[in-house]
């Protein structure tokens, strides 16, 4: 099960007393889902908040690095919920709504793991993702854009998510599914974003260019190339720097895919 590597990672990082507490807490949640509402907020104090470093095998199961011990322990408690007592989506919603930022972050990080353990969850928690994406907290936004969001957000919501990350400075590497879900419309939006930044004499985040390199026509249509000849020195310089980065991200003829 997907939760097993998470438990293995915790095994090496919890003290004996913290391990005993978590095991007892998971049993309590399995016996009565309502117990999670008292236990979830105190996980950090009882288990610790140190980073949870995942090895390569664990990394194939969990989202990218950035989990803490408390995040993982909270997901273990959520996985202990028995759906015959209360639907998991309902418990997730209640815990998320009642929680402070650390508890909400743990719920969001855990969604792809929990869906693997409880397939019946499906898209039942996508409202939590959209709620997090309305915030201005980069930690919540970064936690919300994992594999669960990539599977369940509609096309428009996914594109807006990518733009939200750019505006907030959340690296696009944190956004799951770009290889699969990036399309011409998203490229158009990103090219327009880049043009607006250049027109203001500002830098464009470097992680935009590898994605736009897959859709070079979007850059051509955005008006960005024309900015390289702008009469305004700041715009001209910003455009030339941006286009140089774009060009360096584009595959050379030798690298281009053969059809």
pLDDT in tens, 35-49: 999 999 999 999 999
- Nearest residue to 25 via CA among 41, 36, 14: 36
pLDDT for res 253: 58
Among 48-57, 88-97, 165-174, 198-207, the range scoring the smallest mean pLDDT is 48-57
Same domain as 114, residue 64: yes
pLDDT for res 222: 95
Give the range of the structural domain holding residue 216, as residue numbers without chain letter: 184-249
Number of domains composing the chain: 2
pLDDT in tens, 178-213: 999 999 999 999 999 999 999 998 999 999 999 999
Q: Please state, for a pLDDT cut of 90, what percent of the chain lies above it.
A: 82
Same domain as 172, residue 193: no
Give Cβ neighbours of residue 199 (< 8 Å, ≥ 6 apart).
227, 235
Single residue among 126, 149, 178 that ends a domain in this structure: 178
pLDDT in tens, 49-78: 988 875 544 444 444 468 899 999 999 999
Single residue among 161, 178, 195 that ends a domain in this structure: 178
Residue 94, number of CB atoms within 10 A of its CB: 16
Q: Looking at the domain assignment, is residue 255 inside a domain? A: no
- Nearest residue to 25 via CA among 7, 43, 1, 12: 43
């Amino acid at each position: 099960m997907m939760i097993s590597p998470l438990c293995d990672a915790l095994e090496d990082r919890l003290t004996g007393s913290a391990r005993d507490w978590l095991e007892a807490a998971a049993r309590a949640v399995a016996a009565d889902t309502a117990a999670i509402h008292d236990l979830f907020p105190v996980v950090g104090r009882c288990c610790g908040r140190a980073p949870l470093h995942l090895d390569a095998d664990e990394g194939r199961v969990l989202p990218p690095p950035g989990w803490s011990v408390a995040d993982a322990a909270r997901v273990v408690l959520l996985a202990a919920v028995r759906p015959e007592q209360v639907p998991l989506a309902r418990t997730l919603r209640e815990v998320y709504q009642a929680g402070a930022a650390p508890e909400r972050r743990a719920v969001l990080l855990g969604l792809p793991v929990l869906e693997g353990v409880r397939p019946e969850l499906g898209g039942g928690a996508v409202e939590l993702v959209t709620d997090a994406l309305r915030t201005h907290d980069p930690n919540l936004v970064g936690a919300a854009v994992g594999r669960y969001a990539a599977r369940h957000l509609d096309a428009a919501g996914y594109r807006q998510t990518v733009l939200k990350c750019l505006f907030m400075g959340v690296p696009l590497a944190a956004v799951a599914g770009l290889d699969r879900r990036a399309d011409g419309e998203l490229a158009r939006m990103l090219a327009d974003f880049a043009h607006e930044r250049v027109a203001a004499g500002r830098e464009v985040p470097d992680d935009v260019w590898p994605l736009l390199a897959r859709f070079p026509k979007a850059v051509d249509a955005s008006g960005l190339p024309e900015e390289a000849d702008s009469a305004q020195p700041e715009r001209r310089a910003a455009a030339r720097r941006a286009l140089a980065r774009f060009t360096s991200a584009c595959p050379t003829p030798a690298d281009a895919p053969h059809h």
